[in-house]
């Protein structure tokens, strides 16, 4: 088997004395679509932030594209749409085109100017997410679903190999959510993009992803989507009851 794109081994993380990640190990193969589910506050965003290098890991190992995270410098190989993207400051006076172009800033460096080919790439991804007709509109004047597609375009503009989506469909209606999943599936299947998507849509997730990880501080499941679907009830009740057990322990 080839080197996984991401390998997390025995990761632990605490905020102060609150343990949020407990001995988490998982991997992502090239071209794989992984869905991460788990209750509120189960450490999903924390795990994503550590993988993205936005927060230092405390204990355990992370390899990205075969390099230890401390030595990994090619940030542009990873595209990220954060949970906060949909609470983006809607008063911010930027058009869809400008927001998408900002996704190239890291790759180009602060003082390099955009070339014609950069703007061509910007327009190409805008077309891919079907927002060409709104390219010059202020981002604040788009629907939630359209904004999500603009943020995915911003994440894609630098041609990443790995796309990380943290609850991309929160506050977006069912029709737009389905459209969003279809877009991610298209990128995954037709462009070979590796994807990690954190989501609360447990019901639909297993029909889109290859593998599922179920997290509540520790991993309760990491395996094929079909197996997750088959054992869903058992896995989820174990993961979602974990907090209750913890509370009871504290009580004694």
Ligand X SMILES: Nc1ncnc2c1ncn2[C@@H]1O[C@H](COP(=O)(O)OP(=O)(O)OP(=O)(O)O)[C@@H](O)[C@H]1O
Question: Is residue 15 near ligand X by the rule CB under 6 A?
Answer: yes
Toward ligand X, which CB reaches closer, 162 or 198?
198
**Distance, CA of 16 to CA of 162 (rounded, Å):** 31
Q: How many helices (H) and strands (E) does the chain have?
A: 8, 10
**CB 65 to ligand X: min, Å:** 24
**CB 165 to ligand X: min, Å:** 13
CB 3 within 8 A of CB 66: yes
Distance (Å) of CA 196 to CA 91, 118, 139: 30, 26, 25
Quote the crossing angle between the two packed helices 144-156 and 116-128, to the nearest 10°.
Answer: 140
Binding mask 30-69 for ligand X (x = CB under 6 A): --------x-xxxxxxx-----------------------
**CB 89 to ligand X: min, Å:** 20
How do beta strands 162-166 and 194-198 pair? parallel
How many Cβ atoms sit within 10 Å of the Cβ of residue 216?
A: 23
Nearest CA-CA partner of 162 in 245, 97, 61, 78? 78
How large is the C-alpha radius of gyration of the chain? 19
**CB 172 to ligand X: min, Å:** 15
**CB 211 to ligand X: min, Å:** 18
Toward ligand X, which CB reaches closer, 44 or 211?
44
Toward ligand X, which CB reaches closer, 109 or 203?
203
Toward ligand X, which CB reaches closer, 15 or 114?
15
Q: Using the 8-state DSSP alphabet, how is residue 200 labeled?
A: S
Question: Is residue 114 near ligand X by the rule CB under 6 A?
Answer: no
CB 171 within 8 A of CB 86: yes
Toward ligand X, which CB reaches closer, 50 or 152?
50
**CB 182 to ligand X: min, Å:** 23
Toward ligand X, which CB reaches closer, 20 or 164?
20
The residue count of the chain comes to 252
Applying CB under 6 A, the site for ligand X has a residue count of: 10
Contacting residue, 6, 20, 134, 164, with ligand X by CB under 6 A: 20
What does the binding site for ligand X look like in residue numbers (CB under 6 A)? 15, 20, 38, 40-46
């Amino acid at each position: 088997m080839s080197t996984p794109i991401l390998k997390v081994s025995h990761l632990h993380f605490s905020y102060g004395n609150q343990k949020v990640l407990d001995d988490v190990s998982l991997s992502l193969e090239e071209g794989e679509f992984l869905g991460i589910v788990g209750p509120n506050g189960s450490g999903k965003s924390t795990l994503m932030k550590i993988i993205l290098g936005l927060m230092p890991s405390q204990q355990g190992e992370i390899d990205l594209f075969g390099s230890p995270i401390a030595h990994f410098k090619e940030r542009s190989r990873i595209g990220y749409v954060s949970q906060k993207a949909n609470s983006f400051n809607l008063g911010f006076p930027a058009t869809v085109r400008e927001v998408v172009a900002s996704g190239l800033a890291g790759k180009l460096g602060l003082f390099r100017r955009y070339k014609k080919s950069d703007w061509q790439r910007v327009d190409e991804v805008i077309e891919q997410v079907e927002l060409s007709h709104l390219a010059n509109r202020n981002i604040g004047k788009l629907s939630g679903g359209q904004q999500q597609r603009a943020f995915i375009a911003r994440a894609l503009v630098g041609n990443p190999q790995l796309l990380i989506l943290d609850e991309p469909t929160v506050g977006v209606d069912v029709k737009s959510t389905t459209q969003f999943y279809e877009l991610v599936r298209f990128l995954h299947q037709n462009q070979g993009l590796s994807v990690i998507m954190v989501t609360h849509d447990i019901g639909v997730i297993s029909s889109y992803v290859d593998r599922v990880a179920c997290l509540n501080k520790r991993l309760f499941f990491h395996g094929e989507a079909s197996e997750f679907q088959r054992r869903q009830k058992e896995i989820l009740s174990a993961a979602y009851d974990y907090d209750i057990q913890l509370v009871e322990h504290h009580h004694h």
